[in-house]
Structure 1
Amino acid sequence: MKKVAAYHQYYAVNAAVQSTLRAAGHTPAEVAAATPPTGRGYGRGTPPPALAHEAPETYGVPGVSAQPFGDRKGGVVWHTQGSPKSLSMVFYTGKIVQALDNPTVVVITDRNDLDDQLFDTFAACTQLLRQEPKQVESREQLKELLRVASGGVVFSTIQKFQPEEGNVYEELSARRNIIVIADEAHRTQYGFKAKEVDVKEEGQVIGKRTVYGFAKYLRDALPQATYLGFTGTPIEQTDVNTPAVFGNYIDIYDIAQAVEDGATVRIYYESRLAKVSLSEEGKKLVADLDEELDADDLTNTQKAKAKWTQLEALIGSERRIATIAADVVAHFEQRQEVFEGKGMIVAMSRRIAAELYAAIIALRPAWHSSDLTQGKLKVVMTSASTDGPSIAKHHTTKEQRRALAERMKDPADELQLVIVRDMWLTGFDAPSMHTLYIDKPMQGHNLMQAIARVNRVYKDKPGGLVVDYLGIASDLKKALSFYSDAGGKGDPAVAQKQAVALMAEKLEVVQALYHGFGYDSSYDAATSTKLSMILAAEEHILGLPDGKKRYINEVTALSQAFAGFFLQTGGFTR
């Protein structure tokens, strides 16, 4: 199978190669000779009209064109989720390997499941890379793979750069032809900032120690490397870490562009909070967490942990889980009648995930199978040794999760619904997935990445739907606010009532194309009469100026708006 770059990928990859060469200290002439024109300067002039593209500066954000040569900051490529970013990274690596004469490329993620997903994508493209990528399993292997004279595509999680003791990571290589690519480069762990953490012994805090952001440890290990970031969500204006480590934007491909180009589908939002009971105490806890904490801090403070524990108990009450299970079953089955595909449920904890599975299976026993290769519903998570048997039975190994991922990506496989806590919320790509059920506090980048699980293009799938059981509407508004402030265009999600209004508008446009054609009588007509009227309707449309094209365009737009509806018993949302 061949993978062909879309135009936004072609343009961004060439711009990223240019910027990398600039950041690595190559002269303007060398940069110009190594890459095709992109219109970003560096002595190449403007691109031909077919290659016209909006630079980051047109979004009101700084670009890399003003950065100095040799600053080791390659820049950031912001391509909205589903564009697809992972393939852009593959294309970039394939080109930079040639442009820099066999460099070492280090691909960094911050979670094992993301590392696995991205590695699998690269491993399937060895012909383009001209080598087999290596996935690091230990700190010792990391050191071995980076202490080489040249070459190599190395995958590692950022945590493997944590020094075993002290605050300085040993230097692994001072070579200048090393490129560090960070996936989701906006995250705080890529910063330099120092902070104090508890030192524990047998569960008791016995002191404090100072640790630094992983950007420092990366610089310790690879002091002359050039750093490049890829992200599916924008850099917040208050974020000083990302520009300090990676530089400014290389290229931007936002939601509006992706939807317009057909690279992604629109995402619709539906609140079903009214269908599920959540006490006033629970609503207050959700609000408090939103006000006081960023998503990345939820597990880092004792205060947050206490509130999280309280909220988990309320959200995971037996009665509420039973209600959620019944609503998900009814809702998903109705969705399947409209467009058959896949769904994902995001639970707050492993306990809730396991109990929700049991509640759904109690309603639909046929969905269960103890065989990993069978069954319509699965839980995707790991378990700890302290977890009870009801949770432990859902534990999956890396290979088992890989097998489940393949099943989920296969539209013909009977696996249609998965329950997750943290896994598969970023980087997981199952194009036929059309519905995401959220019953977990989420915000910011994490929320935007999660909802993008349903924005992939698949056959005639007109849109994805995010179902809210916890009242995350305000968090979506905040996410949209920082998205817009960062220069992004297009809404991450469209409220369902807006979709209803849009569908009514598009229906009126299609009806207007039939002005003068009496189609009302066809509703109660005999089958033979209906067939005759269909032929007459075709003649009517073809008789309009540019009628065929206009009709196809408007009916397509109507079909896409239809995806914003949730079909209830007997018809449309009322």
Structure 2
Amino acid sequence: MLRDGVEVEYRRADGSIAGDRVRLVDFARPAANDWFAVNQFTVIESQHNRRPDVVVFVNGLPLAIIELKNAADADATIWAAYSQLQTYKAEIPSLLQYSELLIVSDGLQARIGSLTANQEWFKVWRTVDGEGDAPKSALELEVLIRGVFEKRRFLDMLQHFIVFEQDTESDRVHKIIAGYHQFHAVNAAMQETVRASGMADSAMITAEDEGQYWAGRMHGGKAGDRRAGVVWHTHGSGKSFSMLFYAGRMIRNPAMQNPTIVVLTDRNDLDDQLFGQFQRCCDLLNQTPVQATDRDHLRELLKVASGGVIFTTIQKFMPEKGERMPSLSDRRNIVVIADEAHRSQYDLIDGLARNLRDALPNASFIGFTGTPIEQTDANTRAIFGDYISIYDIQRAVADGATVPIYYESRIAKLALNIAALPRLDQEFDEITEGEEQTSREKLKSKWAALEALVGDPKRIKLIAADLVEHFEKRLESMDGKAIVVCMSRRICVDLHNAIVALRPDWSSAEHDDAEGEKSKDTVVKIIMTGSADDGPEWQPHIRNKEKRRTLANRFKDSKDPFRGEPALDVTLTGF
């Protein structure tokens, strides 16, 4: 309603009825709106009389509520202010029906969240204009007010950085707002993409201030060079939502003339996850995203004259055997968003990136990654350019966006297991699908030798014993769960069997029966994919997507005995 307006009917002069759309907010001209901040605004509803501290109105709509507590009162914390907001939700819900942003503060500390956010998701806002952190001497409340409530930024937040997501498990709707790192990164990425596409006056782009140390202009970027840059936001900091906000921002940018957005991953499971995220939040995109089923379907989707949000894996950009990849579209308003852009698949010389460039010769490329680009990785920089935003693990931990990571060294000696070598070829073919044959052969010798060493039975038993001892000691002092990421499916199964051999009571119930496992203190399971071709020993560990989702929810439940899992790869952050 706020973003797109309200459909209305009116009577024409000739008496006929016509339809139109009334815009409630003028996003293009901030000063054209009526702005009011009202102190102690009284609301009476269902015999409840409440007075929020500050209510911010735009064109008569109460779009933000600020609840303040006295910093001199030891009991009046920001979380007391948060509890006050929950009271307002219960007693005067009509006021919060229009609220987009909720702020709590004790005068020193300040947090911002949405109507549905729990205490964990009320976050700090660390910058005013995105050019760097505010001075340490600045009060958090001042930084938040100046950083969010400047009229242009406030309207940008309303229009581009708020989404609703349906929780398929609880059937609840969550209102999600961008954090400061997402807000400024996406805005910088939008400007860099317009610059890279060559679809706007270059003077308009270079007029922006430079020097943003974590979200700003890309070093060496030139108009029309098709390199929009790399956004490095650490795992757990909302990278998929940043990609969603970015896609919505580009779609609404008039300079891009209704672009086509191609979201690119290198694995089917990642493609499914991102597609599901975008699909649940498609209102922000003004269209429904489409997932390419195969190469022919991808080529059909790219033949459109404009528009569209297409999801595909990089392997679908493959030419016919012995041929070069044909051009699928020469439009400049195509934007390719690559997830984990630093991976080895993006090799400009003999990798799949060459096929991408051949298929979309005038498209602009932007990369999102949860890990930094290696200094020696020239291929990624050649395709995407340099950083335009950095939000590393230290900053994410300081903001409470993710938990700290502690490293404790372990040594498990390697030994060669000749008997394991014949079983490696099939797994290798699955992992390297899409690689050039010469690259595959080079990788095979390295992978086979390393996997055999890592998966040596004596080493697996040693690791299993160490894991069990470590986990049990941790449980003596604190509750928790554990994920073990393994090199291959064979190692997953062998490690699981070794752990269960040490602790038989940790074995899973048949068919993952949650009721049958309630009596156990700890249950260990394998999370991996597979098929009917896999042997009978592996079949109990191979589950479809729905069963894996059920186990993901159980693993996140602190009261569920499902506490440990060897996994081939952890595909969902926080799983």
TM-score (norm 1): 0.59
SS in 2 for 1:428: coil
Q: Which residue of 2 aligns with 1:263?
A: 401
Are 2:381 and 1:381 aligned? no
Q: Partners of 1:24 and 1:131 in 2: how far apart?
A: 22
Q: Which residue of 2 aligns with 1:429?
A: 573
SS in 2 for 1:140: helix
Q: Which residue of 2 aligns with 1:107?
A: 263
Q: Partners of 2:292 and 2:416 in 1: how far apart?
A: 47
Structure 1 residues 410 and 314, CA, compared in 2 at 3 Å: closer, same or farther? Answer: same
SS in 2 for 1:189: coil
Offset, 1:390: 0.8
Are 2:484 and 1:325 aligned? no
SS in 2 for 1:271: coil
Q: Which residue of 1 aligns with 2:22?
A: none
Q: Which residue of 2 aligns with 1:54?
A: 213
In structure 2, what residue type is equivalent to 1:355? D
Q: Partners of 1:317 and 1:172 in 2: how far apart?
A: 47
Q: Which of the numbers 108, 112, 116 marks the counterpart of 2:272?
A: 116
In structure 2, what residue type is equivalent to 1:64? M
Q: Which residue of 2 aligns with 1:524?
A: none
Offset, 1:141: 1.7
SS in 2 for 1:269: coil
Offset, 1:29: 7.5
Q: Which residue of 1 aligns with 2:554?
A: 407
SS in 1 for 2:319: coil
Q: Identity over the aligned pairs, expressed in percent?
A: 50
Q: Which residue of 2 aligns with 1:369?
A: 509
Offset, 1:44: 3.8
Structure 1 residues 91 and 353, CA, compared in 2 at 3 Å: closer, same or farther? Answer: same
Q: Is the 8 A contact 1:169 1:217 kept in 2?
A: yes
Q: Is the 8 A contact 1:103 1:179 kept in 2?
A: yes
Deviations 1:173-196 (A, max 9, x none): 2222211000111122212213xx
Q: Which residue of 1 aligns with 2:193?
A: 20
Q: Partners of 2:203 and 2:548 in 1: how far apart?
A: 45
Are 2:390 and 1:246 aligned? no
Q: Partners of 1:133 and 1:333 in 2: how far apart?
A: 46
In structure 2, what residue type is equivalent to 1:80? T
Offset, 1:244: 1.6
In structure 2, what residue type is equivalent to 1:85? K
Deviations 1:241-297 (A, max 9, x none): 112211222112223332333333321111232xx5655999xxxxxxxxxxxx999
Q: Is the 8 A contact 1:28 1:43 kept in 2?
A: no
Q: Which residue of 2 aligns with 1:179?
A: 335
Structure 1 residues 277 and 239, CA, compared in 2 at 3 Å: closer, same or farther? Answer: closer
Question: Where do 1:283-362 residues align within 5 Å?
Answer: 305-306=444-445, 308-309=447-448, 312-362=451-501
Offset, 1:315: 4.2
Offset, 1:16: 0.2
Q: Partners of 2:459 and 2:382 in 1: how far apart?
A: 46
Q: Partners of 2:178 and 2:477 in 1: how far apart?
A: 32
Offset, 1:80: 2.1
Structure 1 residues 122 and 324, CA, compared in 2 at 3 Å: closer, same or farther? Answer: same
Q: Is the 8 A contact 1:13 1:91 kept in 2?
A: yes
Q: Partners of 1:338 and 1:187 in 2: how far apart?
A: 39
Are 2:358 and 1:220 aligned? yes
Q: Which residue of 2 aligns with 1:391?
A: 538
In structure 1, what residue type is equivalent to 2:299? K
Structure 1 residues 417 and 190, CA, compared in 2 at 3 Å: closer, same or farther? Answer: same
Q: Which residue of 1 aligns with 2:347?
A: 191
Gaps of at least 5 residues in structure 1 are 33-41, 47-51, 58-62, 195-212, 283-294, 434-574
Structure 1 residues 311 and 7, CA, compared in 2 at 3 Å: closer, same or farther? Answer: closer
Structure 1 residues 418 and 31, CA, compared in 2 at 3 Å: closer, same or farther? Answer: farther
Question: Where do 1:482-561 residues align within 5 Å?
Answer: none
Q: Which residue of 2 aligns with 1:210?
A: none
In structure 2, what residue type is equivalent to 1:19? E
Q: Which residue of 2 aligns with 1:287?
A: none
Q: Is the 8 A contact 2:265 2:313 kept in 1?
A: yes
In structure 2, what residue type is equivalent to 1:90? L
Q: Partners of 2:439 and 2:540 in 1: how far apart?
A: 28
Gaps of at least 5 residues in structure 2 are 1-173, 419-430, 518-522
Q: Is the 8 A contact 2:291 2:312 kept in 1?
A: yes
Offset, 1:31: 5.2
SS in 2 for 1:334: helix
Q: Partners of 1:191 and 1:348 in 2: how far apart?
A: 23
Structure 1 residues 53 and 307, CA, compared in 2 at 3 Å: closer, same or farther? Answer: closer
Higher relative contact order (CA 8 A, sep 6+): 1
SS in 2 for 1:2: strand
Q: Is the 8 A contact 2:506 2:524 kept in 1?
A: no
Q: Partners of 2:338 and 2:442 in 1: how far apart?
A: 31
Q: Is the 8 A contact 1:22 1:31 kept in 2?
A: no
In structure 1, what residue type is equivalent to 2:207? G
Q: Partners of 2:454 and 2:340 in 1: how far apart?
A: 30
Offset, 1:160: 0.5
Offset, 1:316: 3.6
Structure 1 residues 279 and 227, CA, compared in 2 at 3 Å: closer, same or farther? Answer: closer
Q: Is the 8 A contact 1:18 1:31 kept in 2?
A: no
Q: Partners of 1:224 and 1:314 in 2: how far apart?
A: 45
Q: Is the 8 A contact 1:361 1:368 kept in 2?
A: no
Structure 1 residues 173 and 383, CA, compared in 2 at 3 Å: closer, same or farther? Answer: same
Structure 1 residues 417 and 281, CA, compared in 2 at 3 Å: closer, same or farther? Answer: closer
Offset, 1:111: 1.1
SS in 2 for 1:11: helix
In structure 1, what residue type is equivalent to 2:187? N
Q: Which residue of 1 aligns with 2:180?
A: 7
Moved more, 69-78 or 320-329: 320-329
Q: Which residue of 2 aligns with 1:43?
A: 207
Q: Partners of 2:442 and 2:310 in 1: how far apart?
A: 39
Q: Which residue of 2 aligns with 1:78?
A: 232
Structure 1 residues 124 and 384, CA, compared in 2 at 3 Å: closer, same or farther? Answer: closer
Offset, 1:309: 4.2
Structure 1 residues 343 and 91, CA, compared in 2 at 3 Å: closer, same or farther? Answer: same
Structure 1 residues 20 and 307, CA, compared in 2 at 3 Å: closer, same or farther? Answer: closer
Q: Partners of 1:245 and 1:162 in 2: how far apart?
A: 18
Q: Partners of 2:449 and 2:282 in 1: how far apart?
A: 49
Deviations 1:511-532 (A, max 9, x none): xxxxxxxxxxxxxxxxxxxxxx
Offset, 1:228: 0.8
Deviations 1:529-572 (A, max 9, x none): xxxxxxxxxxxxxxxxxxxxxxxxxxxxxxxxxxxxxxxxxxxx
Structure 1 residues 386 and 56, CA, compared in 2 at 3 Å: closer, same or farther? Answer: same
Offset, 1:387: 3.8
Offset, 1:337: 4.0
